[in-house]
Chains A and B, each alone.
Chain A
Amino acid sequence: EAQVTQNPRYLITVTGKKLTVTCSQNMNHEYMSWYRQDPGLGLRQIYYSMNVEVTDKGDVPEGYKVSRKEKRNFPLILESPSPNQTSLYFCASRYLATSPYNEQFFGPGTRLTVL
């Protein structure tokens, strides 16, 4: 089954404790992206990647890091989480080549609470 998976789905942590949220897709998509969703603010992009070893900042990158060492994986790293990073996080992927009618697939989301 074609899908984007994220782990963990729920996480409660404390300020300053480094964490990683994993994202993996099995569709051989070049493009992957991370969004955070907060009430009234919609989906805001954190980082995106056009291919392996190619990453770039979105609208709200502060406090986050990413890496793209393999095509299928795009982990989101919070080196020193703070309470304002409490949010619902979505990973997404998309096929870029040939047809422009390429929908974006979203993972199930990770609900993060930083105390």
Chain B
Amino acid sequence: QQPVQSPQAVILREGEDAVINCSSSKALYSVHWYRQKHGEAPVFLMILLKGGEQKGHDKISASFNEKKQQSSLYLTASQLSYSGTYFCGTETGANNLFFGTGTRLTVIP
């Protein structure tokens, strides 16, 4: 039941933008986004509920298209601190959360 994330990895220069996609084969109730620094626990970024809402967190925002069962995470004007692995977690309405395979983001000076 894992959602599929793409791309698997991306390298950016500081100031560039990136989009990370998350898709599911099941109808979704919500999508969660987390960031994990190497060797640490994942840290919460945001939750999006069905209804197509968009959320924002500084220069990081996300959208949720429930018809396509997809969510996208947008990172604009990337900073070195954005480096890490990004996970989407999907919820199908049963309160259980399944996480994707992750997208490794590297921001270089």
CB nearest to A31 among chain B residues: B95
State which size class the interface on A falls in: 20 to 34
What is the distance, in angstroms, from B3's C-beta to the closest C-beta of chain A? 9
A34 to chain B, nearest CB (A): 12
Bound: A100/B49 CA distance, A: 8
- Looking at A19-27, A36-44, A71-79, the stretch in contact with chain B turns out to be A36-44
Most buried by B among A33, A43, A90: A43
User: A42 contacts B101, CB within 8 Å?
Assistant: yes
Whether A59 and B98, one on each chain, are in contact in the complex, defined by CB atoms closer than 8 angstroms, is: yes
How far apart are the CA atoms of A107 and B43 in the complex, in Å? 10
In the complex formed, the residue of B with least CB distance to A111 is B39
Bound complex: CA of A42 vs CA of B97, how far in Å?
Answer: 13
Selected A-B contacts with CB under 8 Å, 6 pairs? A31-B95, A42-B100, A43-B100, A44-B99, A45-B98, A100-B29
